Amino acid sequence: MIWEKNKECMPREDLEQLQLERLQSTVYRVGTHVPFYRNKFNEMKLEYDRISSLSDLKRLPFTMKQDLRDNYPYGLFAVPLREVVRVHSSSGTTGSATVVGYSRNDIKTWSNLVARILCSAGVTADDVIQIAFGYGLFTGGFGLHYGAERLGASVIPISSGNTKRQIQIMQDFKTTALVCTPSYALKMADVMMDMGINPHGLSLRFGLFGAEPWSESMRREINERLGIRASDNYGLSEVMGPGVAGECAECNGLHINEDHFLVEVIDPDSMEPVAPGEVGELVITTLTKEAFPVIRYRTRDLTRLIPEPCPCGRTFQRMSRIMGRTDDMLIIKGVNVFPTQIESILFDIEGTEPHYRLIVDRENNEDKLTVMVEAVESMFFDSMKKQRGLVEMIKKKMATELGISVDIKLVEEKTLERFNGKGNRVIDNRKL
Ligand code: DLL
């Protein structure tokens, strides 16, 4: 059974009881098997067999990315290697790599949870799913693959890259669901245009996108261009990979798989919980992982929990789409700006293409943000006056909505690099 109604719609009281039991066994597991946690618990004089309510979570130590690095490669594993059947690693764009491991049960749970997310997005065993995430140490390819197979769908494990071939296969194999990053979905739409293929003539109905932040405006753009329903799904390798949270057909926030993950939202500075519904850093404790459990993992991802119940009937809490990472946030002249905010503004402006770069410089001790954005082709044949008008309009919108002045540089269509996987749209030249 993939649509696990008895779990996903479980009364909160029962869920909390289940979470408590699972938290107790996870804390016991790491306290007895992982020296890193045992030492931390001892230092804090925490009796790890004495967790009696969910509020005891607050007494547990946080785990940071650095802790994973310090214990590279296997130091935080809670089972001997012979019980580990899979290893993944995060590439470490912002530092050295980290390694995570899965027991046979972990792989089973992971597949179930990804299947659950695919199912809640509307995908069924009748779908043909093209997985355009990289297969390898990145959790995206294999994670979605196992989940899609578990669902019983027909899986095309094409991996990332070679966009023309992707589109050819999509056409020939009658793909109904595309799985990749939202950036790559946009690139596919562009390449389809170049190939003279009308996306609306394909069999594609669903897009399951994740692994990077995106905006509501980008979703609209993708939906319109590809003629699909795009939904968001979230996860991170340190905690499992994809399968942590995903949107239901309402496409209005991601249900967190709370029977396997306990979440908190904290103020990243004070590390205290934020008021209910406020934005903060997501902190996750795994409840069922065997090989690589983590306690209060600080994701660095910013979101808020949505307190209202979802019309779909699921009782698992929703979180809003990830707004950005604490380490993505740009501070421009003292104002906090997230790339997704800029994306949202740009995508709603007529005359621009959904491709942009943000370049940050510091000149004479002053921050300067330049937004490079592709203008539609016709704009370049238009008068300078029209182009200037567009630039002024974008500047004004940014000033009103972000509270800072930015420079806008229109560039010709297709001049900015496209992404096959996670996009990186910020170039910060400040030596801070
Ligand atoms: O990106 C796992 C994944 C693969 C999720 C495929 C969904 C689909 P990592 O490479 O460890 O794992 O990167 C995790 O990516 O902390 C977020 O900052 C970001 N991220 C993942 N999903 C989303 C999303 C995978 N839906 C990091 N929206 C996380 C925004 C996301 N950011």
Residues 320 and 334 in one domain: no
To the nearest 10 degrees (0 to 180), the angle between helices 35-43 and 12-33 is 100
Tell me which of 64, 208, 222, 301 to substitute to probe ligand 1's pocket, judged by most ligand atoms within 8 Å of the beta carbon.
301
Of the spans 94-103, 184-193, 345-354, which averages the highest pLDDT?
184-193
Query: Is 70 exceeded by the pLDDT of residue 94?
Result: no
Say if residue 86's pLDDT is above 60. Answer: yes
Q: Do residues 224 and 355 share a domain? A: no
Q: Can you say whether residue 152 is alpha, beta or left, with left for phi > 0 and alpha for psi between -120 and 50 degrees?
A: left
Q: Does residue 95 have a pLDDT over 80?
A: no
**For the segment 319-342, what is each residue's pLDDT rounded down to a tens digit?**
999 999 988 888 898 888 999 999
Residues 293 and 353 in one domain: no
Per-residue confidence band for 1, with pLDDT thresholds at 50, 70 and 90: low
Write the CATH number for 108: 3.40.50.12780
pLDDT of 91: 66
Task: Check whether 196 has a pLDDT greater than 60.
Answer: yes
Work out the angle between the directed axes of helices 104-120 and 139-151 (0-180°, nearest 10). Answer: 70
- 90 pLDDT band, cuts 50/70/90, is confident
The closest-lying atom of ligand 1 relative to the alpha carbon of residue 328 is 18
Q: Tell me: do 338 and 323 sit in the same domain.
A: no
Give residue 312 CA to ligand 1 midpoint distance, Å.
24
Instruction: Check if 136 has its Cβ closer than 6 Å to any atom of ligand 1.
Output: no
Nearest Cα to Cα of residue 61 among 302, 297, 301, 299: 297
Looking at the structure, do residues 319 and 424 belong to the same domain, yes or no?
no
pLDDT at 276: 94
Q: What are the residues facing 298 on neighbouring strands?
A: 283
30 pocket-lining for ligand 1 (C-beta < 6 Å): no
One domain for residues 315 and 197: yes
pLDDT at residue 49 in the model: 85
Q: Is the CB of 326 under 6 A from ligand 1?
A: no
431 pLDDT band, cuts 50/70/90, is low
pLDDT at 386: 87
**Domain end residue (candidates: 298, 327, 356):** 327
Rounded-to-integer distance, Cα 10 and Cα 252, Å: 20
Q: Is the CB of 261 under 6 A from ligand 1?
A: no
| CA-nearest residue, atom 22 of ligand 1 | 211
Q: Is 281 in the pocket of ligand 1 (CB under 6 A)?
A: no
CATH at residue 343: 3.30.300.30
Same domain, 216 and 148: yes
Tell me the per-residue pLDDT of 118-145, one tens digit each, with 9 for 90 and over. 999 999 999 999 999 999 999 999 999 9
Please state the domain count of the chain: 2
Distance in Å from the first CA to the final CA of the chain: 52
Domain range holding 398?
330-428
210 Cα to the center of ligand 1, angstroms: 6
Q: Are residues 28 and 176 in the same domain?
A: yes
Residues 356 and 308 reside in one and the same domain: no
CA distance 198 to 186: 14
Q: Is 247 in the pocket of ligand 1 (CB under 6 A)?
A: no
Give the tens place of pLDDT for each residue, 25-57: 999 999 999 999 999 999 999 998 889 999 999
236 lines ligand 1 (CB under 6 A): yes
Cis bond before residue 268 (omega within 30° of 0) = no
The predicted model gives 189-211 an average pLDDT of 97
Q: What is the pLDDT of residues 218-236, one digit of tens each?
A: 999 999 999 999 999 999 9
Mutating to test ligand 1, I would choose from 240, 282, 322 the residue with most ligand atoms within 8 A of its C-beta, which is: 322
User: Above 90 in pLDDT, residue 11?
Assistant: yes
Q: Note the pLDDT of residue 77.
A: 98
Q: In terms of domains, do 320 and 370 share one?
A: no
From the CA of 8, how far away is ligand 1's center (Å)? 22
Q: Which of 180, 88, 175 is nearest to 133 (CA)?
A: 180
Closest C-alpha to 257, from 22, 78, 29, 64: 22
Region 153-182: what's the mean pLDDT?
97
Spatial distance between the Cα atoms of 183 and 205, rounded to a whole number of angstroms: 18
Is residue 98 within 6 Å of ligand 1 at its C-beta?
no
**Do both 25 and 61 map to the same domain?**
yes
Instruction: Please write the tens of the pLDDT for every residue from 305-323.
Output: 999 999 999 999 999 999 9
Q: How confident is the model over 355-385, as pLDDT tens digits?
A: 999 999 998 888 999 999 999 988 777 778 8
pTM of the model: 0.93
Q: With a 6 A CB cut-off, is 325 part of the ligand 1 pocket?
A: yes
Are residues 169 and 23 part of one domain?
Answer: yes
Residues 233-287: pLDDT tens digits? 999 999 999 999 999 999 999 999 999 999 999 999 999 999 999 999 999 999 9
356 lines ligand 1 (CB under 6 A): no
Q: Are 185 and 175 in contact (CB under 8 A)?
A: no
Residues 372-406: b if buried by 16+ CB within 10 A, e if exposed:
bbbbeeebeeeeeeeeeebbeebeebbeeebebeb
